[in-house]
Structure 1
Amino acid sequence: MFKTKALSNAIRYSLLLGSVALAPNALAQENDLNSDVELEEEAPERIVVTGSRIRKAEFSNASPIQIINGDLSREMGLFDAGSMLQSTSQAAGAQIDNTFGGFVLDNGPGAATIGFRGLGAERTLVLINGRRMAPAGVGGAPTSPDLNLIPGVMIERVENLFDGASTVYGSDAVAGVANVILKKDVEGFIFDASYRQPKGEGGEETVLSGMWGKTMDNGFITVGVEYSEQKSQSLSGNPFVKGCEERIWEAEDGSIVTRNSGYGPVASGEDSCDIFPLTNRISVPSFFGSVYYTPNFTNTGIPNFSESTVPSSLEGFLPSWVAGDFDGDGINDGVFVDGNGDGFRDVDFQDPLYAFQQSDYYKSGDYRSKNERISLMLNGEYNFQDDNDTTFYYEGLYASRKSPIFSPGAQIFQQVAASNPYNPCGTNGIDCFGVLGVGPGGPEAVQPIINIRGDRDQTEVEVSQYRLVTGVTGNLGMFENIGLDNWYYDASVSYSASKGTDHRVGIDEERLINSLETAVLNDDGTVTCGTGSDGCVPVNLFADSIYQEGGGTLSPEEAAYLFIDRDIETKVNQFVFNAFMGGDFFALPWNNETVAGIVGIEYRRDEIESNPNAAASQGLLWGYFADQGADGSRNLKEIFTEVDFPLLKGVKGAEELTFTASGRVSEESFYDAESTYSLKTIYRPVDWFTLRATKGTSYRAPNLRERFLNGTSGFNTVADPCVVPEDARNIDPLNPGSAATYNAAEETRDTAVLNACQASGIDPTTLGLGQGGTDSYTGTYSAEIETGGTTELSAETSVAKTYGFIFEQPFTDAFDLTMSLTRFDIEVTNSIAEPSAGYSIGQCYSADGNDAFCSRIGRDTNGQIDLVDASFINIGLISSKGFDYNIYFETDTVIAEENLGITLDLQATRMTEQVFDVLGTIDDNMGEPDSPEWRGTARLQLKYSDFRFNWETRFIGKGREDEDDLGEFEEGTAGCRGLTDANGAPLKCRPVGFTDDYFVHNIGMTWSNDAYKVNFGVRNVFNEAPPKVDPSGSFSNTNIPLGVGYDTSGRSPYISFTASF
């Protein structure tokens, strides 16, 4: 007889009462839509639950486990696996979702991943029905499973294990395991429709699903299909980010100043918006930085281009160069250019024509990208009803998603030679230095800084994956002949295959350079370029159509020549064979309790194949990295064992004392064999109090990306902090051939940066100034970046420890009260990372000047960075430590002859340490905005008759960047320039790098009977806005820290309807 309903409830309740971490979603929910299977009274069935492979009649587990109930999550408006998992308090660190569309991610755009304990998705193992889920994604070498490919409505529950579990499940289970259990106890047809409407415009979510199942005496079968669509939501449509990205400052007196001063006097007045990146300008060496597009007007003599400011020493050099009050304090503190004599600066940096992120085109970009998914699922068992209870089981899953992403903002700053016919300062233009009246200066190269619509601003991603599992399990009755009872076996084979495609369009850098460098003005006034047979089209980067708000447009001929497709296809295959047998080994002589265990083998093969086109592999798009994909395979051969010792049971002072040991030996293709172990202890002196402890090691060999990502050498923009800033350069306007000199009074860099540059042999007061003005350069330029996987990496190893207790109130039957506490301590050694070029440069020239990173940076004879090694390396130690707290209260009372059930569930996690030892540089991220010290969830449920009411409150604690990162309070910042404190002294400020405590409240109401269920509710009832930080500090998007767990949808009503028949 199959007892699926009873087993389901047994698992839920046993985990609720027997785990260290009690889950807010662990309460078993009666499924009113399915008829219960009639059961006969039998001996307790032995079951297996996440964290062990041993079948036990009485389940207890020393590992901290949390259960997420799928139906309850959907009743609270969470319709997909990513949302369910990322809402847990243990989901620390950046959790990737579809608000990351504009960033380069390991799994590519549109993916959703889960990482426990702040250790990253690559150290959290995802299972479906207890078996490994393979990575899927785009972009060369995806590293983690994509949660978007799991059918949300078909999730029965998710069992989260929060200790190292390599001995049970193999590599990658460093921070824990997320085991997604799909529904199988389905009887008849079930149809479900759900809809959620976020506040603002766009972002609506629709889910339609259907399931059919049948349970028989000798098995069951369940099939299902799900369609899900989340529409995109633009920056302007989101209720919390529809404005610009602001500059937010913390004043020394504790006040918050939202202000971005220092760019006046302008007719539009002062604004808080960040003006960068500025666009629609050209950098002209003979001027003071850039001149800006001013249609039908010029204050420089260059047609349609004007200067904004000049050095203070040049006040009055020309009549339009006048002193003015830049910060509104009534004191002239700069010199601006007022060519039209209206008293204001001719170029207003707050104008969307220049401040690209204030343009309507930028604001129409995705804050939350569209995601369209379809899933098909098959799940079943067939029991042969023989003497050995032989059961054949099978699973099939196909899922695909489409994620179009619109993320404008890519700039072009390609130098245009003096010989180019369109160059306004070139051979066919004017003497741009001569217009100042001190020339001649001669033709010169200039650099347009522009945005082009359609260039690298749209991405189309498609990912599909199928997964097949088949296996057989049964009893080994012949073992009874040799005195071994209750022996069983389980052997399975799984195969997963995914394919992801990434398509985008951009400007071909080689073609652009070819056009600009070979263009000539013919005698008949036409312009041609190229060899005459290469299809070259003259490109005019100075046409009025280029310099438009939100980005310019190319002519049809220019677009046809320059725009090319960048495509990359990524395939990931995984084959797993797993077999184990287990049973009762022997009875302990002092209590006759049975020592049970298992022994097994596992073989896994991972394969990756990437097929980038030439534009992707060679990095042909302007300013976009080369991706040569990844190609390779690896094999893992493993043996494992687990033994459970019930040392004491039912005696005075020891209701239970159980010791469990497990081990695994793993041999990976490129490494020697590694062993891991796990030791677990449960001690229950009385029925209502339990002490638990675990210690285990884990092993993670470099994944497919870290090993097989093909070596890529491409050019990308770097920011060199050792180059003298433009503001700190004095230029002699009467001598265009002379080199600029260093002006220490206008220095904007920290002293620590200057010292680090000098310590590495670079003079930060002369670098970039050049000799004779001929070889000067700014701090932003192109350098060669080397990336790629390597076989020289060492495997990661880790040690995870947990300690805790559980208290179950024994004093009264009026209510149930359970409390637990868990201490966790995880340390990962030889951790693998891929430091970006910017990170390596920043670490080298930080206050501490890390020599290990400096050795990865090369400079040419002119002092410029010419090579940065950004390949994978073993960086050192990562640790994560803290506490999990849980309180569970349940009672009921009778009102009007109906039972009112009351449940209160509290869960919280406190992080006490999150240390990264990066090649000797120690950084504890605990308590920072992206790793807050506290997270928690509280849920109140009232159940009365056919109604359920849920109120949930989620809490994310405050965070603050390290004081060294925040910097000193300073006068003259863009936030406090010109302001005074209560004593009349100049106000000192620094950027806001902290967040306050955050609470968000969700409600859900459900009515159900045997055939129907109606659910409605509101997420973020009070429309609580997420905290905001200054963009110069924390990792954020439009001031909101990314991936922390803040609700960015606003008040979102939802409704769902379910019918069964």
Structure 2
Amino acid sequence: MMIRKSLSRNPLSFALATAMVFAASAPVFAQDSSSTQTPEEAEKAKSTTTFDTVTVTGSRIAKDTFNSVSPVQVVTREETLLAGFNSTTAALQSTAVTAGSSQINNAYGGYVTDGGPGANTLGLRGLGPTRTLILMNGRRVSPAGARGAVGSTDLNVLPNAIVDRVEILKDGASSIYGSDAVAGVINIITKTKVDGLTFEAQHNATDGGGGDERRYSIVFGQTGERSHFSGSYEYYTRNDLSLRDRDWTRCATDMYRDIDVGDYWGSGDFIDPLTGKSKCYTIDAGGVTINTIGTNTRTGVAAPGTSGTRFNRWRPNSAVTTGLAGYEGVNTWSRDTFDDAMLNQSLISPAKTHTLYFQGGFDLNALGDAELYYEFLGNKRKSTQTGYRQLSLDYAVGNPLIPANLRDSVAGPATNLTNGQPMGVRAFIGFGNDQSKQNVDFLRFNAGLRGHLGSEWNYDFNVMHSRSDADYTFQSFLTSRLAQSLDVVSNGSGGFVCRDASNGCIAAPPLNSNTIGGNLPADWKNWVFVPVTGNTLYKETTFNFNVNGPLFDMPYGSAGGAFGLEYRKADINDTPSQYSIDQDLFNLTASAPTRGNDSVFEAYGELELPLLSGVTAAEELSVNLSGRYTDYKSYGSDETYKIGGLWTPVKWLSFRASYGTSYRAPALFEQFLGGTTGFLSAANDPCDTYGEASPTSMRYINCASQGFDPEFIQTSGVTVITQGGAETGLSAETSKAKTAGIVLQPDFGSFGDLSFAADYFDIKVENGVRDAGGAAILTNCYNSSAADFTAGNGVCRLISRNPDTNALTVTNGFINVATEHVRGLDFTLRYVRDIGPGEFRSTVQITHYIEQTDQLFPEDPKVDSVGMLRSPQNTGTLDLAYKWKNWQVRYGLDWIDKTDSYAYYEENNPGLFDPATSQYKLYTPNYFVQALSVQYDADKWSVTGGVRNLADKEPPTISQGVYNTVGNAPLYSGYDYFGRSYFMNVTYSF
């Protein structure tokens, strides 16, 4: 099987990265107070608590050691505070946690994403958020968000001020935690014992304006002899950061180069005759055609920067008196595509959240010294996004609203606005800004009973219920009202009224320069452009019972065990606006309701076997075994397991390894998503100008078999209907995960404590659940064998073609097609030493990806995206801190490796993407972001302040037309869109 590599490796850069690793990177242990404790520090930490054992994320067995079979990274609240993060969301989506994987964050407000606009999700290893399990205090946080594709935890619901630490298990753990723990587990752990009252306030202000963040919180609690209670309330707000607020987004250009000029990016752009510079916001750079009309082809006067005399696109110009009087002809490059209102669009969408959290317990002095405990999390999110809308208004041939000299124009067939008549003139109007908003209420409550079974065994019974209730509103033109308003008759006074005056119809404006320029009557706008609202309700209920304790004595210790039962039921009910259900939203996606439920029963067990301890060549040798039986109502049953081992031949050296399997049933939206209609351009029809392909290619042969002329030109867009896969045989996906690591902790005495860990990871998902995408389905079908194509086998069954118009419709259901394979290395080095009056601490973390392979269909070649744009091969973080008395100073550095997509695109498009000659810029250099902070921590109060993105580093730039971009920057969560920002945090305790 051919594997496509994204680019040739640079030996020098890899050598430098490797040198950085071995010069500075720590074993990651689960811990309470720092991200890389040594065993001595762990013992000291244990002495301050009443517990003899702890439960490390990645295992349900409480142990008296912090060394773990699986790699666990710990990020403490102190570290996130010093780093300047104003929310748990931002901390979790940082490079230190995600290792360079792209995440859905607040820069994706204008895109269709799972969870809807405003949601923030997290996926480890680039395998997506549905394969990463989010826990809080060891119990799952259910999905939240808006629209039909709700299937992952929305990080916005998490508290911040009461968080003690976050443990990140970067290893598959489905047999321990459930089927969605494919790529890893994030466990947010709160402070369990709080006495008193603490106020906290933090303000993050950007140097360039816009995007400021403020958070005000109160943490409270009381601990008595038999009970404890604690909680927090937080208010968080983020201001809008618009495209206008940053220099690098105010003028997005094509950023093409002219080889004859030299290696100068932008020299190949179209030069705007009005400015003499590269044209801002062309069609490829995010602009839309505005201030223009489309007609039949006719003779006229060319606009500045345009050549020729025959045009079908025109711009109003009252000075033109010949040809088409009042209009000048424009082409693809000279037509208007930029409106100043475009700069009002959200770069970072604003939001407000209220988060209330309670936890507590009461000792019953019965049922085995049982504690009755409870936990409540409530979150309210209000988020908005500002967009920009173009209105394509179609006037029928002969419509009295058209000027007399254009009434004979026949620009195309009838559309859904021309009431059955051929289209005469299309007006491309810059309508202006629109708003989307989401109100999401999330509630999560759990209560349980935990105690002792005898002297050594413990039990825990828990019931949890979660509910996400979201209203989502956006503005849309209504197709029916637009069409009704364009069907007019004279009112006898020189004006017009609707032929059908029902529903309060208001006649559309005549076609003139004001209308084309976007100066539209307010009453007509209010009638045809309305807010539409839908609602998404997601509910999940969980019952869990587990026991753990020693099983039997072995020569070198007691074998530990943990066993449990779990039942989960989830329901989704998304009801779009009736206008959406009726497919009445003009040029927007139409959606049917998404309704469905599923349940699962699971039984699991885990064993910890100490094979050797305190003997020659085996200070510790232990094996961890876990297994889970899973039975889904929808997909039947399967078993998963995991085997792990830890060997410490000498005190300063440990080896660890694990192998596990998973079985993930599709998320509810993957099963039951209501039919959602979208569109692709006509150029996506494989038979469009297929004569340019080789006559021996399957695309050519299959198109010819349908009777198309090789010069066939498709004039209709491709309709794509995306829907859930429950009715099309969608099955559960499986995966395998392997890890192997080494931990070094040499004793340097007075020279300080050094710890180093290197872990190899290998995760392969097979039979993966994915919506293939309309374009991929079309390409795969038309490249299939003639026999399969003719018979409609495989994905060809998802395609239909209208025999009268030749328009294509693709059913893009979720199917089991994908194979994903990710391999790499995690390095962590930590060094701690007393220097002068204080303590110096340095930590380096680097992730190196060896492979990120994706194969959509079995017959497709494997594509390795390592090193390509948005998939850096290496990422790293450096953290240097010095603490003395009440003071602490911290310097941080985030690194994202250079990326390059030339090789992949050149293989598929020979001659177009040779880096030496291509007009496209498809690479980014190494990207570094620095941070500096200082903290003073007194007895009852503390102040922390600093600067993020110290050098005000802008994101790198690429050419348009290949990747989604923000301005000219790749749409990628790893780059900082805020710029330099200042933060100040103040706490005061009573």
TM-score by length of 2: 0.87
Instruction: Check if 1:48 corresponds to 2:17.
Output: no
Among candidates 644, 647, 658, match of residue 683 of structure 1? 647
Contact 1:610 1:631 in 2 (8 A): yes
Cα distance, 1:874 vs. partner? 1.1
Contact 1:275 1:355 in 2 (8 A): yes
Amino acid at match of 2:337: A
Cα distance, 1:58 vs. partner? 2.7
In structure 2, the CA distance between the partners of 1:58 and 1:971, relative to structure 1 (3 Å rule), is closer
**What is the correspondence of 1:767-778 to structure 2 with a 5 Å cutoff?**
778=715
Give the match for residue 728 of structure 1: none
d(CA) in 1 for partners of 2:449 and 2:379? Answer: 25
In structure 2, the CA distance between the partners of 1:444 and 1:900, relative to structure 1 (3 Å rule), is closer
Instruction: Check if 1:128 corresponds to 2:136.
Output: yes
Give the match for residue 347 of structure 2: 367
d(CA) in 2 for partners of 1:767 and 1:845? Answer: 16
Give the match for residue 338 of structure 1: none
Map Cα deviations across residues 420-452 of structure 1 (whole Å, 9 max, x no partner): 11234788568999xxxxxxxx99722222232
Map Cα deviations across residues 587-641 of structure 1 (whole Å, 9 max, x no partner): 12xx151111011100001011122221122231111111223111111101000
d(CA) in 1 for partners of 2:312 and 2:194? Answer: 68
Map Cα deviations across residues 289-341 of structure 1 (whole Å, 9 max, x no partner): 632222423366434322135xxxxxxxxxxxxxxxxxxxxxxxxxxxxxxxx
Cα distance, 1:474 vs. partner? 0.7
Map Cα deviations across residues 780-826 of structure 1 (whole Å, 9 max, x no partner): 63636353342421101110000010000124343100111100000
Instruction: Check if 1:380 corresponds to 2:360.
Output: yes
Give the match for residue 938 of structure 1: 878
Give the match for residue 283 of structure 1: 294
Contact 1:407 1:458 in 2 (8 A): yes
d(CA) in 2 for partners of 1:621 and 1:1008? Answer: 56
Map Cα deviations across residues 514-536 of structure 1 (whole Å, 9 max, x no partner): 333x3334666443333344543
Cα distance, 1:1002 vs. partner? 0.6
Identity of aligned residues (%): 29
Cα distance, 1:841 vs. partner? 4.1
Give the match for residue 231 of structure 1: 239
d(CA) in 2 for partners of 1:247 and 1:142? Answer: 37
Tell me the SS of whatever aligns to 2:979. coil
Amino acid at match of 2:546: F
Instruction: Check if 1:564 corresponds to 2:511.
Output: no
d(CA) in 1 for partners of 2:724 and 2:891? Answer: 48
Cα distance, 1:244 vs. partner? 2.3
Give the match for residue 513 of structure 2: 544
**What is the correspondence of 1:135-174 to structure 2 with a 5 Å cutoff?**
135-174=143-182
Contact 1:116 1:176 in 2 (8 A): yes
Tell me the SS of whatever aligns to 1:99. helix
Tell me the SS of whatever aligns to 1:112. coil
Map Cα deviations across residues 934-974 of structure 1 (whole Å, 9 max, x no partner): 0110110001111100101000111111524157999999x
Identify the range of structure 1 (60-69 vs 277-286) with the bigger mean alpha-carbon deviation. 277-286
**What is the correspondence of 1:758-773 to structure 2 with a 5 Å cutoff?**
758-761=700-703
Amino acid at match of 2:868: E
Map Cα deviations across residues 180-234 of structure 1 (whole Å, 9 max, x no partner): 1122332211000100111212111101001111223334211210001010011
Amino acid at match of 2:897: G
Map Cα deviations across residues 46-67 of structure 1 (whole Å, 9 max, x no partner): 2212111112223431111111
Give the match for residue 576 of structure 1: 542
Among candidates 837, 840, 847, match of residue 902 of structure 1? 840
Among candidates 523, 526, 529, match of residue 498 of structure 2? 529
d(CA) in 1 for partners of 2:519 and 2:783? Answer: 41
Amino acid at match of 1:997: N
d(CA) in 1 for partners of 2:706 and 2:883? Answer: 69
d(CA) in 2 for partners of 1:906 and 1:561? Answer: 59
Instruction: Check if 1:509 corresponds to 2:479.
Output: yes
In structure 2, the CA distance between the partners of 1:643 and 1:722, relative to structure 1 (3 Å rule), is closer
Instruction: Check if 1:487 corresponds to 2:457.
Output: yes
Cα distance, 1:556 vs. partner? 2.8
d(CA) in 1 for partners of 2:822 and 2:152? Answer: 20
Give the match for residue 762 of structure 2: 825
Give the match for residue 302 of structure 1: 324
Map Cα deviations across residues 707-733 of structure 1 (whole Å, 9 max, x no partner): 121234x463533245899xxxxxxxx
Among candidates 346, 350, 355, match of residue 337 of structure 2? 355
Give the match for residue 305 of structure 2: none
**What is the correspondence of 1:183-262 to structure 2 with a 5 Å cutoff?**
183-249=191-257, 255-262=263-270
Among candidates 652, 663, 668, match of residue 704 of structure 1? 668
Give the match for residue 18 of structure 2: none
Instruction: Check if 1:917 corresponds to 2:897.
Output: no
Contact 1:710 1:789 in 2 (8 A): no
**What is the correspondence of 1:377-526 to structure 2 with a 5 Å cutoff?**
377-386=357-366, 388-408=368-388, 410-424=389-403, 428=407, 445-453=424-432, 457-477=434-454, 486-516=456-486, 518-521=487-490, 525-526=494-495
Among candidates 874, 896, 919, match of residue 956 of structure 1? 896
Tell me the SS of whatever aligns to 2:467. strand
Larger radius of gyration: 1
Cα distance, 1:143 vs. partner? 1.1
Give the match for residue 35 of structure 2: 26
Identify the range of structure 1 (297-306 vs 797-806) with the bigger mean alpha-carbon deviation. 297-306
Tell me the SS of whatever aligns to 1:71. helix
Contact 1:90 1:909 in 2 (8 A): no
Instruction: Check if 1:99 corresponds to 2:99.
Output: no
Map Cα deviations across residues 26-82 of structure 1 (whole Å, 9 max, x no partner): 1579xxxxxxx9999999612212111112223431111111112220221112122
Tell me the SS of whatever aligns to 1:297. coil
d(CA) in 2 for partners of 1:487 and 1:432? Answer: 80
Among candidates 722, 743, 746, match of residue 809 of structure 1? 746
> After TM superposition, where is structure 1 displaced by more than 6 Å over at least 4 residues in a row?
20-25, 37-44, 429-433, 763-770, 845-851, 967-973
Give the match for residue 304 of structure 2: none
d(CA) in 2 for partners of 1:471 and 1:970? Answer: 63
Contact 1:472 1:491 in 2 (8 A): yes
Contact 1:691 1:806 in 2 (8 A): yes
Tell me the SS of whatever aligns to 1:793. coil
**What is the correspondence of 1:556-635 to structure 2 with a 5 Å cutoff?**
556-588=522-554, 591-635=555-599
Cα distance, 1:278 vs. partner? 2.2
Amino acid at match of 2:821: S
5+ long unaligned stretches in structure 1:
1-15, 30-36, 310-346, 434-441, 478-484, 726-741, 771-775, 977-986
Tell me the SS of whatever aligns to 2:78. helix
**What is the correspondence of 1:783-802 to structure 2 with a 5 Å cutoff?**
783=719, 785-791=721-727, 792-802=729-739
Contact 1:189 1:211 in 2 (8 A): yes
Amino acid at match of 2:813: S
Identify the range of structure 1 (782-791 vs 1014-1023) with the bigger mean alpha-carbon deviation. 782-791
Identify the range of structure 1 (424-433 vs 599-608) with the bigger mean alpha-carbon deviation. 424-433
In structure 2, the CA distance between the partners of 1:444 and 1:698, relative to structure 1 (3 Å rule), is closer
Identify the range of structure 1 (633-642 vs 90-99) with the bigger mean alpha-carbon deviation. 90-99
d(CA) in 1 for partners of 2:594 and 2:558? Answer: 50
Contact 2:622 2:645 in 1 (8 A): yes
Contact 2:255 2:269 in 1 (8 A): no
d(CA) in 2 for partners of 1:220 and 1:752? Answer: 75
Amino acid at match of 2:838: L
d(CA) in 1 for partners of 2:353 and 2:324? Answer: 53
In structure 2, the CA distance between the partners of 1:515 and 1:762, relative to structure 1 (3 Å rule), is farther
Contact 2:685 2:718 in 1 (8 A): no
TM-score by length of 1: 0.82
Amino acid at match of 1:155: V
Tell me the SS of whatever aligns to 2:481. helix
Identify the range of structure 1 (795-804 vs 17-26) with the bigger mean alpha-carbon deviation. 17-26
Identify the range of structure 1 (1036-1045 vs 839-848) with the bigger mean alpha-carbon deviation. 839-848
d(CA) in 2 for partners of 1:460 and 1:804? Answer: 46
d(CA) in 1 for partners of 2:842 and 2:718? Answer: 58
Cα distance, 1:249 vs. partner? 4.0
Equivalent residues, number: 929
Among candidates 883, 893, 898, match of residue 825 of structure 2? 883
d(CA) in 2 for partners of 1:499 and 1:634? Answer: 18
Contact 2:270 2:333 in 1 (8 A): no
Give the match for residue 988 of structure 2: 1059
5+ long unaligned stretches in structure 2:
1-24, 39-43, 299-309, 413-420
d(CA) in 1 for partners of 2:578 and 2:900? Answer: 45
Tell me the SS of whatever aligns to 1:413. strand
